[in-house]
Amino acid sequence: MSSRVDLRALEEEARERLEPDAYAFVAGGAGDERTVAWNEEAWARVSLRPRILADVAEVATGTMVLGTEVAAPILVAPVGMARLVHDEGEAALRRAAASAGSLLVLSTRTSFPVAEIAEAADGPWWFQVYVLRDRGLTRELVERALDGGAAALVLTGDTPLVGSKPRAARHPLEIPDDVFMPGLSRPDGGPIGEYPGAEQDPAVTFEDVAWLAELAPDVPLVVKGVLRPDDAELAVEAGAAAVVVSNHGGRQLDGALPTAVALPEVAGAVRGRCEIYVDGGIRRGTDVLRALALGARAVLVGRPVVWGLATGGEEGARSVLETLTLETAEALALAGARSPAEVGNDLVQPMWQS
């Protein structure tokens, strides 16, 4: 196991290491970046109510997500074009996730061919799907993912268009052709980068969950981007096996409520009918504990893993996952819980104002 890292210091190190445009691409959010800030703050506002003298001699962080065992309730969130921060990009993320006992949710916006990433390591992985304007291209995407062994599809629902990001706009990023979804080709044979058909289709609806299910009848479907109880209900009705409570890391609609606030509302609507994950602002094992207590089965972590990748490649990304796992084990023990299953809502008290 690699050494424990200071996740707060790591972002600073990544900022120094990366070109300003690449750093802004990852760190930036939509609009005035209020939701980016709220995501972190909202977890901190949930205070913990630890149990004492509870016999935590044996603490196990492992859990199951859609039937797959993971070492901790911590998955790697889809991050686009990982080669922009490190040469090995998603291949390194894949290996890091596998060796840490975690699971990569591979972004549609890969910077290596999907097959290469799939083969980079053993172990489960999932594929994040944008339904693109060109449905044929979308079908091709999904098929390649299934061929590569993706064990679930994660449909991102909060991106009918890409949210404006003033910080990123101040640091324009040039994306080489071979970094944007290589291995796919547009109907006319040119690079995929400028192809309108490769944009997110703004007409996607919950009915497309059924369309995806037909394309991929053998794997479960996850709907990502849910912030409202009614949308969670629609996802369940459309056959989702899980939802991800997410505001896209504050990168889409600035001012969207923080996920720590949305999570218990969604959990109240779902009432166990599908699994619930959450992302956005998770920076510590204590945040993982809060997420579990508020109704999530697992969290997805994006930016911290990217900072690990940027500063240390596969090893760096793995250190981040292992650090979070260690911190989660510690948080469980200090809260008096031996496993994620023992974490109940009584362990948190929302709305204490820091």
Residue placing its CB nearer to its own copies in the complex, 125 or 130:
130
Residue placing its CB nearer to its own copies in the complex, 48 or 173:
48
Binding string, residues 265-304; x marks residues near its own copies by CB under 8 A? -------------------x-x---x--------------
Q: With H, G, I as helix, E, B as strand and everything else as coil, classify residue 153.
A: strand
- Among residues 248, 283, 284, 297, which one is catalytic? 248
Residue placing its CB nearer to its own copies in the complex, 8 or 271:
8
Residue placing its CB nearer to its own copies in the complex, 178 or 352:
352
d(CA 264, CA 257): 12
307 lines the binding site for its own copies (CB under 8 A): no
237 lines the binding site for its own copies (CB under 8 A): no
The nearest distance, CB 138 to its own copies, in angstroms, is: 15
Widest distance between CA atoms in the chain = 67
Angle at 300 between CA 298 and CA 303, to 5 degrees: 155
43 CA to centre of own chain: 16
Helix (H) or strand (E) holding 343: none
Nearest to 329 by CA among 103, 101, 125, 123: 101
Which residue in the set 60, 64, 169, 210 belongs to the binding site for its own copies (CB under 8 A)? 169
Which residue in the set 119, 164, 177, 271 belongs to the binding site for its own copies (CB under 8 A)? 164
Which residue in the set 20, 50, 190, 268 belongs to the binding site for its own copies (CB under 8 A)? 50
Are the C-beta atoms of 95 and 69 separated by less than 8 Å? no
52 lines the binding site for its own copies (CB under 8 A): yes
Residue placing its CB nearer to its own copies in the complex, 121 or 234:
234
Both tokens of 24, joined, read 């802004």
- In the range 21-40, which residues lie near its own copies by CB under 8 A? 31-32, 34, 37-38
Nearest to 284 by CA among 36, 94, 44, 61: 44
d(CA 46, CA 350): 4
Residues assigned a catalytic role: 248
